[in-house]
Structure 1
């Protein structure tokens, strides 16, 4: 499941057939999640976990993921900004303000934070981690195209519908987004993602605390995909300062009993 593949420079957006199947596949992933059980997953140590939603979604979409983290024993909560319409105004100023807001969600500055972001929310998680530095234990991104150009994702149309214009990324901003935060970082991706090209979710580099983990799933269902939940549970359980790659601590399969 754990890979370090190479992304190509000639990547295009996923085929339209995959995009068209997204709703059905996501519904099936949700149904499977409802029949799964978290009792066999590694238990948490109570540290704070902040979950960022994808573009055009909110706490309702990430609710199953947040609830799952709470069941494991973490102080998990939504990003607290409601519906995600994308950054407003100058991107870095907006991200600075978002990082200030996230710091208030866990006001004890001695506490660790793990940041989890789905799709565009993963870009927020990575950028917030760069700003909060030592407070962040790790970042987990789920279907996040931090290495994407506009042609490598179908999300640009949604952004334009919400904001009236296409997202603008100059070369400096693209380089910034591609640079990983200085904390352990896991990018979860699917080669059958129907919204973003999987290659755009691959973090290059040779740092030992950066990994790319492949799962099987749609884009819109990744937040409640049982394979993703297994990865999240395993990653969150890594003690601070003793992080190991996912394959070295592979979790047991989730049991077939209802998540409660």
Structure 2
């Protein structure tokens, strides 16, 4: 529970990002070689929470696409169906695969999209995303909040857990054909950091540790450095 207090450092992380914006040699995409990037927010969050990251991607020469999420609290099955349709429309329109970046629950969806559509997803990047049942991986306050939201919205019993009765396994399948960058922090105040580490041993997966709060990963200079470096890698 004490780890949750670390989430109050988000304003400091935003300040550090602003300072790094003027001093760090950010890797820009070569003209005409920018990546198409779709961003998926975390639990209860909307696209607006990833607006700074979207603007950053554009400044680096990439094309950022939002997920069309107002509040990431819908049924996971419905969310993935909607995200899959959006991914299909975007990749058809731009005639090529994209990079999916997801924060927390959004990262779980990003991994599942990579598993389902390996021909449309070039790379998956997760930010503080539990690689197991969401509710069991979070602190007690988040577990209670998730249960309350599920009741209010009339979700299936056990939503966001292994016992979800809608039939969707949320225990996280790693993309088996897509490069995946897993970003986690030992000072995560929302999700148990151990649950965010991929231990599959897949040569396509890399785990990268940063010093960041959970919410602050969307504003962390360390996280942005990792994302920027991966976006300029060849497909």
Q: TM-score, normalised by structure 1?
A: 0.77
Q: Which deviations, in whole Å up to 9, do the C-alpha atoms of 1:15-62 show, x marking residues without a partner?
A: x1111231x211111111122217622212222100000011112211
* Unpaired runs of at least 5, structure 1: 1-15, 241-260
Deviation at residue 131 of structure 1 after TM alignment = 2.1
Q: Identify the match of residue 160 of structure 1 among 142, 147, 153.
A: 147
Q: Relative contact order (C-alpha < 8 Å, sep 6+): which is higher?
A: 1
Question: Which residue matches 1:55?
Answer: 43
* Unpaired runs of at least 5, structure 2: none
- Could you say if the C-alpha distance between residues 69 and 109 of structure 1 is closer, same or farther in structure 2, counting changes exceeding 3 Å? closer
- Could you say if the C-alpha distance between residues 220 and 149 of structure 1 is closer, same or farther in structure 2, counting changes exceeding 3 Å? closer
Stretches of 4+ aligned residues off by more than 6 angstroms: none
1:33 aligns with 2:17: yes
Q: Identify the match of residue 141 of structure 1 among 126, 139, 143.
A: 126
1:72 aligns with 2:66: no
- Could you say if the C-alpha distance between residues 231 and 198 of structure 1 is closer, same or farther in structure 2, counting changes exceeding 3 Å? same
1:132 aligns with 2:117: yes
Name the SS for the 2:117 alignment partner: helix
